[in-house]
Amino acid sequence: MNKSYHNQINQKNFQIPTTQTQLKKKLKKIFKMQVNSNNVTYENGFIQASYQYKSSNVEKLENGTLKVTPKTTEYTFKTNTKVPKLGIMLVGWGGNNGTTFTAGLLANKMKLSWFTKRGEQTANYYGSITQASTIKVGCSGSEEVYLPMNQVLPLVNPDDVVIGGWDISALNLSQAMKRAQVLEYNLIEKLDPYMRDMVPKKAIYYEDFIAANQKTRADNILEGHNKLEHLETIRKDIREFKAANNCDKVIVLWTANTERFCQLTPGVHDTAENVLKAIENSEAEISASTVYAVATILEGCSYINGSPQNTLVPGVIELAKQKDVFIVGDDFKSGQTKIKTSLVDFLVSAGIKPQSIVSYNHLGNNDGKNLSSEKQFKSKELSKKSCVDDITGSNKILYPETNKIDHEIVIKYVPYTGDSKKAMDEYLSEIFLGGQHTLVLYNVCEDSLLAAPIILDLILITELFERIEYKVDGMRTFQRFNRVLSTLGYLCKAPLTDENTPLVNSLYRQKSALDNIFKACAGLHADDNLLLEFKCPVTEE
């Protein structure tokens, strides 16, 4: 019972058969789906699928007319089906999210059950789209058929991952889990023998970037102020963790405290060369999260920013592209913002004009404590406020001149509430003939229990995209998706894009895009929900 979780993880063998027939049988066993199409092949450990992507180019003419030209582009997607042994390193491993995530993986791996006042509970992955959501794959007669997301394409099994990371607190994961006060006591008792041997590595601590009230926790930090030395230490930690656990790859995710925004400075943050030079010079406006991101990228590992600060500055984005590494951000989209980006989409799509959104939160966990500092709150406020701008901006009938609305965010730290976050939202909208529509919501949730499954999804889907390549008509070789992985925007409050990619915050559009990319790579058509085979059935003349 006292063996560490690291030593409990055994990678299942995944042997790629030599023939296409054998591979089809193997994949059918794993995914319970075999695509019967001349556009899909299963060869040499890859699924290769041809896909016709249909879009429209719009030309704005001088007289105000829009000239719309439909366009079809032939894509070929190639997905490596060999699932790697994956190492996960969390920055802030000993926090509420990190301990809850680790405990959740352990509880599911060991199929634990425990008692609460509501009776016996069993481990599950509710809240994870990769483990607990489905994708429509077609129709069987009049029945629509759905398949779990993790059976459409080959994802890493959460049972097989290895976990490590850093934290400014020296508590082992069992002590940190108890401090977090998220999980039921009976579950904590069962997990304690496995988590007490997990101890975070020393973390970078730049106290100017996080709230002063975090200083009492900071007893496990890298010494000094030499940011280049800190960078090299983090790189060494990643290499040693990967080697010690015999991992094929490592993904690093920031789930530590929200930092204040760094002040973007020309010559410091604007290019990859300048960011590296600024770290070497220990520039004051280089944050700890940026050092982690750069260290991760230089080690060839994907980096995910789960907090709202501007970690992924232009120079870091440029470096990721240079090193062919994926970056994902920003800020987990867990509860209130998910609802907001679906509700505003609903209102605007219905021709109703939102004019005011006021969002109030109070919580008592360490995240709330950190956000009680004004500079750190401003980082969170920006990510929460910007999440509806593209939705309102899509309708020039409702917003002919400006799409800005009265949008206020309030976050209060109330220690007694613990990890149970209370969120209240008021939506005021204009309706027919000058009328008003008021919608008020009250949402209560365990903050970390919503965030932990999102952490899992971000990591597993990012890893999958590391195994997907594409080729378009005219391209001689396959290449990877845009290194700024905006496809994962469904899981982020403030989706990171590059300058050439439209920003999408609509929850429906984000999820639809993600599902359809899975389907395209598997050799299925995108789902447009027309259901023409039923609404316009083909009949004999």
**Catalytic center residues:** 331, 380, 421, 493
Secondary structure (DSSP) of 459-527: HHHHHHHTTEEEEETT-SS-BPPPSB-GGGGGGBSS----TTS-----HHHHHHHHHHHHHHHHT----
Residues 6+ apart with CB under 8 A from 443: 335, 336, 339, 422, 423, 424, 425
Q: Tell me the torsion sign for CA atoms 90, 244, 250, 282.
A: positive
CB 305 within 8 A of CB 328: yes
* Preceding amide of 498 cis, omega within 30: no
Please name the helix (run of DSSP H) or strand (run of DSSP E) that holds residue 438, with its range, or none. strand 436-446
Specify which residues 46 forms β-bridges with: 43, 80
Specify which residues 360 forms β-bridges with: 410, 424
Helix (H, G, I), strand (E, B) or coil at 422: strand
127 dihedral zone (left: phi>0; alpha: psi -120 to 50; beta): left
Q: What is the rounded CA–CA span in Å between residue 311 and residue 296?
A: 13
Q: What is the rounded CA–CA span in Å between residue 361 and residue 383?
A: 14
Please name the helix (run of DSSP H) or strand (run of DSSP E) that holds residue 41, with its range, or none. strand 40-43
Distance of CA 28 to the CA centre of its chain: 28
Measured CA angle at 332 (ends 271, 327), to 5 deg: 30
